[in-house]
Structure 1
Amino acid sequence: MALSELLDFDDFIPTYATITDQQISKGVNYASGGAGILPETGSHLRLYTLGGRKIVLFGLAPIGCTPAEIYIFGTNGKRCVESINDAVKKFNDKLKPLVDELNHDIHDAKFTFINVSHISSLQQVIPWQNVPCCEVMVDGQCAHSTTTCPIRVLSIYYDGLHPTEMAHNIIARSSYIALSDLDASPYDISHLVRL
C-alpha cells in the first residue's frame, strides 16, 4: 500500500520535478534525484514560502545491502557492504538532529524523521533478503531477457537496486504508524497529519 493511499490522497504524491505551485502544499516527493537536499536547489525555502507546514524527511535505507552493491564491492561472505552502510548511518545520524533543530526553530511548521534503515531491519524475516527477483545486468537493472521471480513477496529487491512492492509497503505502513520509537521521530506520519 502506497503512503498516499494511507493518507487518503486521490492520487500518488507528485515528484518535485513535475509539481505546480498549487500542488506543493498538498505534498511533494523530493526523493527523485535528491531534489531539495542541497541548499542551492532552494526548495527548502520554496516549500515553506508556499505554505508547507508538515514535512517528512525520510532517512536513507541500508544501501550497502542492495544486491548491486554487494555484487560490485563483494562482501567476503557478509550480507551487506558495511562501509556503505556506515556512510548511510552517518547521514541518518545527522538528519535526525536537524529535524529536532527545525522543530525547535520554526514554530509554525512540524517536521518528522522516518528512520528507513531501522524499518528495513524488519525485513530480515524475508527468505531472500539480498537476492534480486530477476537476472541482473552490471548496471543493477534486470536483464531484458530475464524471467522475474513468480512470488515477489519472498524478495526485498526487484532488481539490483529497487525494492519490491512488498518492501515499499513495509516502509509505508511503518512510516504511517510506527511500530517502534526508532521508526519515526518525533512522531509517525499518522500523528503528524493530526497536528
Structure 2
Amino acid sequence: MYEQNLYSMGAKKIGVTTLPPTGCLPAAITLFGRGSNQCVARLNQDAVFFNSKLNRTSGFFESRRACCGTGTIETSFLCNVRSIGTCSNATQYVFWDGFHPSEAANEKLAQSLLQQGFDLIS
C-alpha cells in the first residue's frame, strides 16, 4: 500500500538499507534514555530485527560486519584472504572490509545501475 502511494507521488525506484544501532543516536538517548547516557537497548534490538529480516530478502547473511579479519576496522593491505578471522564465503557479506563493499554487493549494485540505464534508453 505504501509503495503504491509513493509510486503515485512519482517515486519509481526505492532503495532500502540496513539500520545503524539507532538506540545509540544522541537524539534517541536524549528522548528515550531515561536520564542515562547509555544506548537504548530496545531501539538497537529493533534495528537488529529489521536488519535480519532485510538480509534474508537480499541474499546476504551479514550486513553489519565485514568479511575480512575482525569485520570492524581492517582495510587496505591489512585486509586480505589470509587475515586471521576472514570469512570463508564473502558472497554472503555486504562488506569486504571495514569500508568497502564485497564483490557480491558490488555486483548487485552494478546490476541495478545497468538496469536503470537500460530503462532510460528503452
* TM-score where L is the length of structure 2: 0.45
Structure number with higher strand proportion: 1
* TM-score where L is the length of structure 1: 0.31
